[in-house]
Amino acid sequence: MASDGVCPVKIKVDKVTLNGDLCLPRGVDGLVVFAHGSGSSRLSPRNRRVSAALRNTGLGTLLFDLLTEDEEAVDNITGELRFNIRFLAQRLVAVTEWLEKQPEVCKFPIGYFGASTGAAAALVAAAELPGCISAVVSRGGRPDLAMKRLKEVKAPTLLIVGGADTEVLQLNRRAMERLETARELAVVPGATHLFEEPGTMEEVERLAAAWFLKYLTAGRGRS
């Protein structure tokens, strides 16, 4: 374990290896897996902020790269993978299955935190793993890209959207109508898509932590 409590991990998925950062605070009783947005990585400063906030509440976190370095280089030119939600969701499912084989984390209930297109991947993956995922949180997400699978999502889902991110807010409102699980739409006043305004990321952190603590530590667990 590194001095900052983060343990670098290598996750073998099919024929590739994905880089990740796993952190398990003392007394952890739930694990949140992050799915970053288009053109981003496990080093996303916003996701790392949320990750740190969750760890301060006692939750474990895993940030990982949905794409390999070679795939990312191609995607930076073509953009062909960042909107391939099925592909990204399959990666997330495979990483979740990898976690379930790791003795130190397999006992923990799992939640997904997805940003932008990563939120769509998280929702599709949650639909694929209905007995495994205990909660989903979306930040500035594109749940419309997972619209056909939303009725299959069983995990309680929180959609966090900036009040000034008007187009994405409308897409999330439509997704809310499609979801049939416990769900909530939280609108952060004055926030744009990246939540760069003062105090807005702190609100995202607060909302996400409350949601995960409610559903990951409520004894609901995994079936």
- Residue 45 burial (CB count, 10 A): 9
Give the Cβ contact number of residue 61 at 10 Å.
Answer: 26
Q: What percent of the chain has pLDDT over 90?
A: 75
Element (H, E) at 88: helix 85-99
Greatest alpha-carbon pair distance for the chain in Å reads: 45
Please report the DSSP string for 121-132 in residue order.
Answer: HHHHHHHH-TTT
Within a domain: 223:
no
Any domain includes 2: no
Range of weakest confidence among 11-15, 43-47, 180-184: 43-47
Tell me: the pLDDT tens digits for 198-222? Answer: 999 999 999 999 999 999 987 544 3
Domain containing 109 equals: 7-216
How much is the mean pLDDT over the chain? 91
Query: In total, how many domains does the chain have?
Result: 1
11-20, 65-74, 153-162: segment of lowest average pLDDT: 65-74
- Asked if residue 126 has pLDDT above 50, the reply is yes
In a domain, 1, yes or no: no
CATH of the domain at 149: 3.40.50.1820
Q: What is the pLDDT of residue 60?
A: 96
Q: What is the DSSP letter of 217?
A: S
Amino acid at 121: A
Asked if 100 and 21 touch (Cβ cutoff 8 Å), the reply is no
pTM above 0.85, yes or no: yes
CA dist 53 and 208 (Å) reads 9
pLDDT of residue 221: 40
Q: How far apart are CA 138 and CA 115, in angstroms?
A: 6
E strand spans, 24-153: 31-35, 60-64, 110-115, 133-139
Q: 222 in a domain, yes or no?
A: no
